[in-house]
Amino acid sequence: MTPHHNAPRPGEAPATRKGGEETGPAADGHGTPVGRRLVLGMLITGVAGIATAPYLQRAYDNTLGAAARNDPTGLTGLLPAGGGFRYYSVTASVPSKDARTYRLTVDGLVQRPTTYRLSDLRALPQTRLVRDVQCVTGWRVPDTPFTGVRLRRLLDAAGVRPGAGAVRFTCFDGAYSESLTLEQARRDDVLIALAMQDEPLPHAHGGPVRLYAAPMYFYKSAKWLSGITVTERVEPGYWEERGYDVDAWVGRSNGRDDAPTV
């Protein structure tokens, strides 16, 4: 606030077998022998790299998140996080929460105010969405999976009172906020996200829980979510108070013409 493939090179000839050794194309057309041990070693190295890449990426993200929490300049926001994302925070420090300390409250114009622990949210039916993520600053991350609980499930469980028209979101960084109309909040593609890229949502990406509004610019998907408050009307969020559009449909707001993310 976060995927890619290797392909053969054009014109590359297939390897052939000669004298019990693998050979590849050479300038003279006869090929240069490559020992079986070397090929096997390359394969093992490649597999090991694939297997360890997610762990290395998570370690990098965690390191970047830790650095950003102690960076009053905000310069760490210029560095890439996992998969092309950027780490953004509007405060100099964001505390970490885990299954023991995390709480999400649902209150405001509801009949049954509720507090959820992380285990409570994980026990609810989960929805997985795969969409592009589009930042209003221009970068885009294609085909990013998010998994979580549909927001409307929490709203229905709380019982929205007559006269409600919007939902406000607050965050445990102590500064960020966002809002959606009640109609927007009830969409199928708006989640209380617990996982990203099929892994538990890390702190650097707003974990353990964030809002995910798939068809909107990513600033609407508030990180480090701690509060859901049902209100009469939309209250402009952190970035809306600084000039961003309240309605943030990708390609139809903020003066941008990006391709929609759905």
Of 9-13, 41-45, 219-223, the range with the highest mean pLDDT is 219-223
Amino acid present at 204: A
Provide mean pLDDT across the span 92-97: 87
Please report the pLDDT score of residue 86 as a whole number.
Answer: 64
Please report the pLDDT score of residue 5 as a whole number.
Answer: 35
pTM above the 0.85 mark?
no
Please report the pLDDT score of residue 39 as a whole number.
Answer: 37
Please report the pLDDT score of residue 88 as a whole number.
Answer: 67
Provide mean pLDDT across the span 185-197: 97
Please report the pLDDT score of residue 59 as a whole number.
Answer: 47
The per-residue b/e assignment along 49-71, b for 16 or more CB within 10 angstroms, e otherwise, is eeeeeeeebbeebeebbeebbeb
Please report the pLDDT score of residue 89 as a whole number.
Answer: 74
Using the predicted structure, report yes or no on whether residue 188 has a pLDDT greater than 50: yes
Please report the pLDDT score of residue 93 as a whole number.
Answer: 80
Provide mean pLDDT across the span 184-206: 96
- Cα separation, 89 vs 71, in Å, equals 10
Task: Cite the beta strand spans of the chain per DSSP E.
Answer: 16-18, 21-24, 32-34, 103-108, 114-117, 127-134, 140-150, 166-171, 177-181, 190-196, 199-200, 210-213, 225-231
